[in-house]
Amino acid sequence: MSIVFIIGTFIVLLGAGIYGTTMDKFAIWKFVLFSVPLLTYIIVMFSSRDRLRFILLSLIIFLPFIGLKIPPGSLGLTVFDVLMFFTFFLLLAEKLGAKREIVLIPTHHDWFPLFLLIPSALTSISYFNSLGSLISIGEIYLAYVLLVNFVSEKEFIERLHLNLAFALIIVCLFVLLEKATGINFNYGAAHSGQYMQVDKYVVHRTAGIFQDPQKAAQFIGVIMTYLIVVNCRKTFQNSFYMLVSNVAIALSIPALFITVSRAAIFGSMAVSAVFFLFFNKAGLVGKLFMGCALCLVLVFGWLAGGKDVVLSKVLPASTLRRLEKSSDDIQGRTRVWEDSWRVFKSSPLTGIGPGNYREFFFQENPNLREFFAHGGFVPDMPESGYLKILYEVGIIGSIGCIYFFFRFMGTAAGNFIIQADKHLVSLCIASIAAMLVFLATFITIFTVSDKRNAMIVPLLAAIVFAGSGRPKTPMGAVNGVRSL
């Protein structure tokens, strides 16, 4: 029945699309473009035996597309919003129906950082903006809850990593295609910071389906580093997974370089090299051999022609030119940080409210609102993800973020020290490496405004916090996690 319905739906919507194209009505074609896959997805989801598992696995593999806006776009709803809408009601239905044990609030550690956001929300300079930000945070938390309920299953975690590798391949292919063709794949929106002037040269930075090259670079760098460590630890032996993940890693290296994001390039390369050298399973002799080989290559390369020659042979020209501008960029960002410090001083304890950085300048100078409405640029962050958090949620809210970070690192390190389970140890090591790259790339831009980047945090957190139940227990029965 469902197959017949899907085919019939395809025929009807395809006819509408053809009509819209022939009548030069792009709105109809755009509606069809989104309606066909979305309606098909909903039908398949409801016909699935395990809808929550289906949503989660599809969310990971289609991670590059969760930012797509649902037509007509005036409401600002995205694919991710729709998925989380269904997730919320499915979780609630299964919890109330007692079909299986569902964890909605894993531990008090999970809601403590969220609780510290309340003072900031109550003292916000714009409740509307803060409400939108809190809804986005709630959606990310919902994704985390969904992950927590599944990562204790060994079979599921292997499938999740396979889907994650496919997602990385998709992102890298779009970045490489943009470099080759010059086509903008960013959902029809303009790229931010795509071209940079360095002396007489114009540096082209590709972002693929991301709006900003730095956000694309963070996604690629973090996932690439994670998969490198997972593979060198020989965590999964499935040959198909190894093939897909190695292809993803191979594509991510050139894709990362042509984003020309210095923090992502050097952060991911340095962390990957260190963790590959010290945490792979090649044994002590193998580690010493790889370390000596790496040192010899660097020394001989340096002596052969100096660092400039070595770098020119390894790095693309656009990346080299961006490196030449590093000192100027640092000075520029420092000036922005100094100029924006008054935002923090206006409300140091509770901040100006989530999502209100731009609103602060609108209220400070009302003319900027009209300037922005006519296409002018007014920044929504102070050239730093950390400062944006500090300014918007203040010292109290920032304590919650710091608490989350130390809990994440402490739990991952603790699992490594006690050597509870070989799979868990490997995944915790990989999660630490990925989080270090994430933190490095968060210095200069608030990347989590993009849900694709934001999803990295609950993914790593669920693996580390809820992974201690693998592989002993079924879904929901995670060691150390109580059910609501």
Judge whether residue 5 has pLDDT over 60.
no
328/275: higher pLDDT: 275
Taking only the tens place, the pLDDT of each residue in 226-252 is 999 999 888 887 889 999 999 999 999
Measured between alpha carbons, how far is 12 from 39 in angstroms, rounded to an integer?
A: 12
Q: Cis peptide leading into 354, omega within 30 of 0?
A: no
Measured between alpha carbons, how far is 386 from 390 in angstroms, rounded to an integer?
A: 6
Domain boundaries, the chain: 1-47, 53-469
Taking only the tens place, the pLDDT of each residue in 27-78 is 555 666 666 667 777 777 777 788 888 889 989 998 998 888 877 666 778 8
Judge whether residue 376 has pLDDT over 90.
no
Q: pLDDT-derived band of residue 310, with 50, 70 and 90 as boundaries?
A: very low
Q: Do the beta carbons of residue 81 and residue 40 sit within 8 Å?
A: no
Taking only the tens place, the pLDDT of each residue in 134-191 is 999 999 999 998 898 888 777 888 899 999 999 999 999 999 998 888 777 776 555 5
Q: Which residues contact 269 (CB under 8 A, 6 or more apart)?
A: none
Residue length of the chain: 484
Mean pLDDT of 15-20: 54
190/344: higher pLDDT: 344
Q: What is the pTM of this model?
A: 0.83
Mean pLDDT of 338-343: 88
Measured between alpha carbons, how far is 381 from 366 in angstroms, rounded to an integer?
A: 18
Helix (H, G, I), strand (E, B) or coil at 345: helix
Q: Cis peptide leading into 471, omega within 30 of 0?
A: yes
Judge whether residue 98 has pLDDT over 60.
yes
Measured between alpha carbons, how far is 438 from 222 in angstroms, rounded to an integer?
A: 6
What backbone torsions phi and psi does residue 190 show, to the nearest 5 degrees? -75, 145
Judge whether residue 447 has pLDDT over 60.
yes
Tokens read off for 398: 């920032």
Taking only the tens place, the pLDDT of each residue in 268-289 is 988 988 888 888 876 655 556 5
Mean pLDDT of 390-415: 94
Q: In the prediction, which pLDDT does 354 show?
A: 94
Q: Do the beta carbons of residue 441 and residue 222 sit within 8 Å?
A: yes
Measured between alpha carbons, how far is 301 from 345 in angstroms, rounded to an integer?
A: 49
> Which run of H or E residues covers position 204?
strand 201-204
Judge whether residue 357 has pLDDT over 50.
yes
Report the range of poorest mean pLDDT among 94-103, 120-129, 131-140, 413-422.
94-103
Measured between alpha carbons, how far is 120 from 98 in angstroms, rounded to an integer?
A: 36
